[in-house]
Amino acid sequence: MTAETLGEKQRRFTLMAAKLIEHIYASGYQATFGDAYRDPRVHGPMGAKKVNSYSAANSCHKLRLAVDLQIFKDGIYLTSTEDYAFAGKYWESIGGTWGGRFNDGNHFSIEHNGYK
């Protein structure tokens, strides 16, 4: 079995993100996008961090394998990691890595070369 290429993984991630958003809405919540892709011209390439960048040096956002979502219930923005647990558990059930496991509740990614 051949390893999944980065491009294949990116396309799988996009479909997974769509399923996650559908799950959020089907559960009675709403969502908006936060960071998805973090451009290396602004944040530095994978493995590097530019001065004044809020991105980690090895962020999966730089690989198009992560998205931050803001979730709302009845128009109210939810801010605690616990508020995102229903989405995080679903995300993990379809093969993703949920940032709530490392104090970043609105972060949804898939692992690549050990990075989340």
Q: How far is CA 27 from the centre of its chain?
A: 19
When computed from its CA atoms, the radius of gyration of the chain, rounded to whole angstroms, is 14
Report the C-alpha gap between 104 and 24 in whole angstroms.
17
Q: pTM for this structure?
A: 0.93
Mind listing the pLDDT tens digit for each residue in 53-69?
Answer: 888 878 999 999 999 99
Report the C-alpha gap between 107 and 84 in whole angstroms.
9
Report the C-alpha gap between 67 and 71 in whole angstroms.
12
Run of H or E residues at 14: helix 6-26
Mind listing the pLDDT tens digit for each residue in 84-105?
Answer: 999 999 999 999 999 999 999 9
